[in-house]
Amino acid sequence: MVKFQCSIAINLVLLQCLLALVASQSFDFFYFVQQWPGSYCDTAQSCCYPTTGKPAADFGIHGLWPNYNDGSYPSNCDPNSPFNPSEISDLESSMQKNWPTLACPSGDGQTFWSHEWEKHGTCSESVLDEHAYFETALGLKQKANLLQALKSAGITPGGSYSLKSIKDAIMEAAGYTPWIECNKDSSGNYQLYQIYLCVDTSASKLIECPVFPKGACSSEIEFPSF
Ligand code: 5GP
Ligand code: 5GP
């Protein structure tokens, strides 16, 4: 009898360990975040074009970020899984085109991609390994063609538009409500900086966002040219 109780106790401890392990790797959804290069560059801080040349006038990927439903998020989950450029060498030209770095000093993107993998990607490793993480983000960008969505609604770079018209245009094309993040241009006016869409934990489909980030925009915002 004592032996039986003891084995139940051991099993419970093992179960708790297993649950803790699963819980530590889990997250509730992803934010898929794209940045408008014109707005990254048109700030007091300015920007630097990548060593591979000026990117196209298109949204670029910022990241695919695991998040919790309460708005918090895990980060830097696995120090034992550093970014390995050789794992994504087949994606490099697509990465340069679709995930360009604009930070100074100029770089070829490896530093940006490494940061995104290590801070965010390692928190969804149970679902996507490094290659799958980047390949999935590239695929999502094709699926949610933001520039085309805006263009179809007559919203093009070099103008000023209502925040609502921008949200409606993306909702119309992507089928889900986006979150718009603004930054301020060099004279302090709000402009369209980043667009967030939410993705399910398997990273296979867009979903309605369980929670939106915080931040301010004005009702009318700039969409600067690039
Ligand atoms: P910022 O302070 O510019 O909003 O965010 C700085 C960085 O924090 C972002 O680039 C991103 O790496 C991380 N971050 C900010 N907000 C969120 C969020 O809601 N979810 C996740 N996963 N990361 C975030
Ligand atoms: P996050 O904001 O995702 O935590 O961090 C972004 C980091 O990547 C910052 O250290 C930033 O300097 C660097 N970075 C490099 N290129 C870019 C870029 O094009 N856009 C943004 N937002 N960050 C970049």
Tens of each residue's pLDDT in the chain, 226 residues: 445 454 545 454 444 544 444 444 589 999 999 999 999 999 988 899 999 999 999 999 999 999 999 999 999 999 999 999 999 999 999 999 999 999 999 999 999 999 999 999 999 999 999 999 999 999 999 999 999 999 999 999 999 999 999 999 999 999 999 999 999 999 999 999 999 999 999 999 999 999 999 999 999 999 999 9
Domain boundaries, the chain: 28-223
Pocket of ligand 2 (CB under 6 A): 35, 40, 62-63, 101-103, 112, 115, 119
> Could you tell which of 73, 77, 196, 201 is best to mutate to test the pocket of ligand 1, judged by most ligand atoms within 8 Å of the CB?
73
- So what's the architecture of 28-223 in CATH? Alpha-Beta Complex (3.90)
> Is the pTM of the predicted complex or chain greater than 0.85?
yes
Sign of the torsion angle spanned by Cα atoms 36, 40, 43, 47: negative
Q: Is 120 a catalytic residue?
A: yes
Looking only at the bridges linking them, the beta strands covering 190-199 and 179-184 are: antiparallel
- Name, in order, each residue with C-beta under 8 angstroms of 99's C-beta and a sequence gap of 6 or more: 60, 61, 109, 112, 113, 134, 137, 138
